[in-house]
Homo-oligomer: A and B are copies of this chain.
Amino acid sequence: MQEQPFVIQHLRSIIIHSLDTFNYTNAEFAGERLLAQDPEDLDSIYLYCLVLFHQKKYKTCYNRLINLEDHLGCSYLFGKSCLHLKKYKEGVYQLMKVNYLYNDSTLKPHQTSGFDVHHFSSSFNRFNYESNRNVLPDASGVYHLLGDLYNKTGDIKNSSLNYSYCLKFNQFDFEAFQNDKERLRSSLKRNNSNSNIHSNGESSGLVSEPGTIKSVFTSKEIESSESFLLQLYVVLARSYKCFSKYDCYKAIRILESLPEAEKNSPWVLSKLGRLHYEIVNYKQSEAFFVKLRMMDRTRLEDMEYYSTLLWHLHKKIELTYLANELFDLDSKNAITWCVIGNLFSLNREPDEAIKCFTKAVKFDENFSYAYTLKGHEYFGNDNYEMALENFRISLVIDPRHYNALYGIGMVYINLGDYQKADYHFRRAVSINPINIILICCVGMVLEKMGKKNLALRQYELANKLQPLNPLPIFKKAQLLFTMQQFQQSLQLFEVLKDLAPDEASVHFLLGQLYNIQDNKHQAIKEFTIALNLDPKGNYLIREAMESLQEKS
């Protein structure tokens, strides 16, 4: 075996080619032959485990890679396996142990034996990566993994730090940006304020390779393509940042400024759908989700939100189609069961809905939204104890899940504990400050506590945020009515009559206001409309009409 290095290289190529064509059995077979050449060779062990990892054999990888000599690839795959096996701290420990292999301040050229872990950081190398790939991870990949591992341990600070390192080495790792819970990324802020991104990148500590081919060949075209892409990524990152802070109007404005083709991409459409949903622009939200579904009927992501939107819009047929299609697509998916649960909820079968949400959580134990929806079902069933429990689990998983805080507030209103209701609604508003439902909730609690003027201000704020939405106007008109400011109340109800002509309560209250003004003819007209809209015969309406006739 005089030619062993050549045999090894030949096998490596066979393995990598098999990976590239998804031929994993063959890759594993060649991997065994590679290991038979030298069972202790770390590069061979790494490549063999890479094949195992592609086949999702995480436990096998973990067992093969534990307690090895230091090797960047092996440590990276070990960490990746730990991420899947929920051994987060063990993964962090191993990667920190080999920190000197990817930390640029300690890195000496001879330690990397020809392989440059910062390869992907330079514009030229990144541009040419397709023709110069490497099976070993680069520094950005390692820091990204550290970010993921810390994230799972709940160490948001170190998670954020490592994502920011990752972005330093690869500004195009949008996942690192999205996963970062702190999201105050200095490098992106800097890029944001400066359109000359490339030179900026250079100054932010990106490693350049002295004396390599790079400096000669980095062409103007590569620079300008990088600059173009960075600007695009920065715009998308800014919109995502606004979205994360529920600064929805700004996020929408940013996305609307994109070129048409970008606006029609699934990522942008899904964000626009969700943003309009958050600001209770249901019609607009629906339009974006419909467009997204037309592009890809097999999409699962975000469909939990779309199904809740359809629930709000009372669209049974659409929701039934969606639930059936997702069930056919993947009946073992958390989102699928969330959508089915919403369908049962819309059909007024809360017990079945609860079963579905429970099933959703079985498929994804960290699915906070399913817990929240389950909480709302229990609330609808007057089971406040279970409702609170589910809202609280949801908040443990995601402390920024304002919908769960809203649910808790609603429970406390019904229990008559207005202090606690107020606290939770205000916490919800602090997360999503422009959601008019939440603002109106704060107002409702203030009313209950007798603070009518403060409540009025909340309704006025909500009305200012969405002048055409009937909810704040109704709340304000109702409050003014109880404050006996009949003239102002009447004006608002006349506005509401146009915005929500099918709402019985609007006509009823209008009737009462006309009655107070002794305008009996108008009063009877409005009471009659109210009765027609609510034909089951609302006792209150009939009583009001009768008292009217008695008076006459």
Interface string of A123-163 (1 = CB under 8 A from B): 00011111111110110110010000000000000000000
Residues of chain A from 242 to 281 with CB closer than 8 A to chain B in the complex: 259, 261-262, 264-267
Is B126 a contact partner of A130 (Cβ separation < 8 A)? no
A189 close to B (CB within 8 Å): no
Given contacts A7-B225, A29-B174, contact A130 B57 (CB under 8 A): no
Closest to A29 in B: B174
Contact A229 B32 (CB under 8 A): no
Which residues of B have CB within 8 Å of A224? 3, 6
B interface footprint on A26-69 (CB within 8 Å = 1, 0 otherwise): 10011011011101000000000000010001011001100000
Tell me, rounded to whole Å, the shortest Cβ–Cβ distance linking A288 to chain B: 15
Complex CA distance for A12 and B130, rounded to whole angstroms: 7
- Please pick, from B32, B127, B232, the residue contacting A266 in the complex, using a CB distance under 8 A: B32
Other-chain contact of A221, B6, B128, B222, B232 (Cβ < 8 Å): B6
| Contact residues of A between 373 and 397, Cβ < 8 Å to B | none
Which of A296-304, A315-323, A341-349, A468-476 is found at the contact surface with chain B? A296-304
Segment at the B interface, from A14-22, A98-106, A411-419 = A14-22
Asked if residues A296 and B175 are in contact (CB atoms below 8 Å), the reply is no
Check if B173 sits within 8 Å of A23, measured CB to CB.
yes
A16 to B125 alpha-carbon distance, docked (Å):
13
Using an 8 Å CB-CB cutoff, how does the interface string of A63-85 with B read, 1 for contact, 0 for none?
A: 11000000000000000100000
Contact B299 A130 (CB under 8 A): no
A80 to B23, CA, bound (A): 11
CB of A516 closer than 8 Å to a CB of B: no
Q: Return the contact of A16 from the options B26, B64, B133 (Cβ within 8 A).
A: B133
Minimum CB distance partner of A22 in chain B? B80
**Residues 467-487 of chain A, each 1 if its beta carbon lies under 8 Å from chain B, else 0:** 000000000000000000000
Q: With A17-B120, A30-B174, A32-B265 in contact, do A329 and B129 touch (Cβ < 8 Å)?
A: no
Separation of A131 and B12 alpha carbons in the complex (Å): 10
Q: Are B14 and A172 in contact (CB under 8 A)?
A: yes
- Which of chain B's residues have a CB closer than 8 A to the CB of A129? 13-14, 16-17
* Chain B residues, Cβ within 8 Å of A26: 172-176
Q: How far is the CA of A157 from the CA of B275 in the complex (A)?
A: 56
Contacts of A132 in B (CB 8 A): 131
Residues of B with C-beta under 8 A to A128:
13
> Which listed residue (B16, B23, B130) contacts A135, Cβ 8 A?
B130
Whether A352 sits at the interface, judged by CB under 8 Å, is no
Q: Would A37 and B222 count as touching, CB distance under 8 A?
A: no
A370 within 8 A of B: no
Find out whether the CB atom of B29 lies under 8 angstroms from the CB atom of A267: yes
Residue A10, interface by CB 8 Å: yes
Q: Does A226 contact B (CB under 8 A)?
A: yes
Q: Which chain B residues lie closer than 8 Å to A25 at the CB level?
A: 174-175, 178
Taking the closest CB of chain B, its distance from the CB of A299, in whole angstroms, is: 7
Q: Knowing A13-B129, A144-B21, say if A296 contacts B265 (CB, 8 Å).
A: no
CA separation between A530 and B265, bound complex, in Å?
A: 82
**Roughly how many angstroms separate A138 CA and B21 CA in the complex, as a whole number?**
9
**A296 touching B80 by the CB < 8 A rule?**
no
Contact A30 B225 (CB under 8 A): no
Give the distance to chain B from A218, nearest Cβ to Cβ, in Å.
12
Q: Using Cβ atoms and an 8 Å threshold, which residues of chain B touch A18? A: 173
Q: Check A194 for interface membership: any CB of B closer than 8 A.
A: no
State whether A127 touches B57 (Cβ < 8 A).
Answer: no
- A11 located at the interface, meaning its Cβ lies under 8 Å from any Cβ of chain B in the complex: yes
Partner of A36 from B9, B14, B32, B265 at Cβ < 8 Å = B265
Interface residue? A282 (CB, 8 A):
no
Closest to A329 in B: B59
**Do the beta carbons of A20 and B59 come within 8 Å of each other?**
no
Q: Are A259 and B16 in contact (CB under 8 A)?
A: no
Query: Does A423 lie at the interface of the complex (its beta carbon under 8 Å from any beta carbon of B)?
Result: no
Which of chain B's residues have a CB closer than 8 A to the CB of A120? 17
A78 → chain B closest CB, angstroms: 14
Interface residue A327 (Cβ < 8 Å from any Cβ of B): no
Give Cα A480 to B296, complex, Å.
75
**Which of A410-431 touch B at CB < 8 Å?**
none
CB nearest to A264 among chain B residues = B36
Q: In the complex, which residue of chain B has the Cβ closest to the Cβ of A60?
A: B298
Query: Which residues of A approach B to under 8 Å, CB–CB?
Result: 1, 3, 6-7, 9-14, 16-18, 20-23, 25-26, 29-30, 32-33, 35-37, 39, 53, 57, 59-60, 63-64, 80, 120, 126-135, 137-138, 140-141, 144, 170, 172-176, 178, 221-222, 224-226, 228-229, 232, 259, 261-262, 264-267, 296-299, 329
